[in-house]
Amino acid sequence: MFKFNFGEVDLVALDMPDDSSEPSSPPEDLYEVIGTGGDRYRDWFTRMCLYAVGRSFDTSQEAANQVIVVGTEYGNTSALIGLQRAAESQGRRLSPQYFPSATSSSAAAFLSMRIGATGGNYTINASLLTPIMAFWQALCGLGYLKSSGSRLLVGDVYCSEAREDAGKETPHLACDPGLVHTCLTAGSEFEARFEFDAPHEEDEVGPSRLPRVSLHGPNGVARDGYGRNGAFALADLLRAARDLDNGECVGMECRGVSGPRGKVLISRLADPDASRERSGR
């Protein structure tokens, strides 16, 4: 069980055709936010992480001792593949600038350097359970000594190789590129409870066995139909949590192809400042 507060929920989506590794309409202010230095060595996932944090980062915030958690299935796959191809074609002439920009955790490391965060950085790869595992890790980060908060980013920007790999496992799930970003801080406005287990025997057959992500709101209505990228479901979960009344809860379940599944239930706790207008949240 975790108690916490969180800030605005920012969802960055890209329009990237299946036959292209480049978005058809990147953000107009992309390079104003992330700069152009070393861009030839960055892939689109790294760019979107830098953009999501850069456009929402308040320089007056305390960045020291912040934890950076990036949840992604494929992450810097495009950069890694580019490194392999460059090494094959250039050999000893390969620029060393490729290496820090093409490691699997480079987006998390770049974010820490970008805002001066010193609380550590993590990349979580947990297949379809990625949004729940990353959320859990970010909440764990609030308990670190002198922690000033956790920046949570979850999502993917799929290169052609990533789409091909995902299609082998879940051909029925869309691979829409997108990234969600929020900042978690210590507090008592919300409570999160997690549960991880394997499917019960009755779940081993039938449609319920399909990998999926679903939301369960305070009115009991479930929302299904999310694609493989957990960014969109997590964004909806956090936005729904912000609209809860005291005592209400909203949950998310992520189910893998075989075996594990994870659940999180977020509740809004009683607000000591009950006089606060709801519209002012």
Pairing assessment for the beta strands 178-186 and 190-197 based on DSSP bridges? unpaired
- More confident call, 210 vs 124: 124
Distance between CA 16 and CA 24 in Å, rounded?
6
Tell me the C-alpha distance between 192 and 106, whole Å: 29
pLDDT digits (tens, 9 = 90+) for 153-178: 999 999 888 899 999 988 888 999 99
User: Which residues share a beta bridge with 124?
Assistant: 71
pLDDT band at 189 (very low <50, low <70, confident <90, very high): very high
- Which residue type, as a one-letter code, is found at position 132? I
Residue from 197, 182, 179, 77 nearest 135 by CA: 182
**Helix axis angle, 231-242 relative to 130-141, nearest 10°?**
50
Contact 185, 7 (CB under 8 A): yes
Q: Reduced to 3 DSSP states, what percent helix, strand and coil does the chain have, rounded to the nearest 5?
A: 35, 25, 40
Asked if residue 276 has pLDDT above 60, the reply is: no
* Full-model pTM: 0.85
Beta bridge partners of 182: 152
pLDDT at 3: 96
The two structure tokens encoding residue 252: 């998310």
Q: How far is CA 99 from CA 123, 133, 205, in A?
A: 17, 27, 45
Strands 222-223 and 212-216, by their bridges, are antiparallel
Task: Classify strands 66-71 and 121-124 as parallel, antiparallel or unpaired.
Answer: parallel
The whole-number average pLDDT for the span 32-61 is 82
Measuring CA to CA, which residue among 83, 53, 73 is closest to residue 123? Answer: 73
Tell me how far apart the alpha carbons of residues 270 and 246 are, in angstroms, rounded to a whole number: 5
Query: Cβ distance 232 to 10 under 8 Å?
Result: no
Task: Give Cα 31 to chain centroid, integer Å.
Answer: 22
Local structure of 252: helix, strand or coil: strand
Q: Measured between alpha carbons, how far is 32 from 55 in angstroms, rounded to an integer?
A: 9
In three-state secondary structure terms, 125 is coil
Lowest mean pLDDT among 114-123, 201-210, 263-272: 201-210
Confidence of residue 190 (pLDDT cuts 50, 70, 90): very high
pLDDT at 213: 67
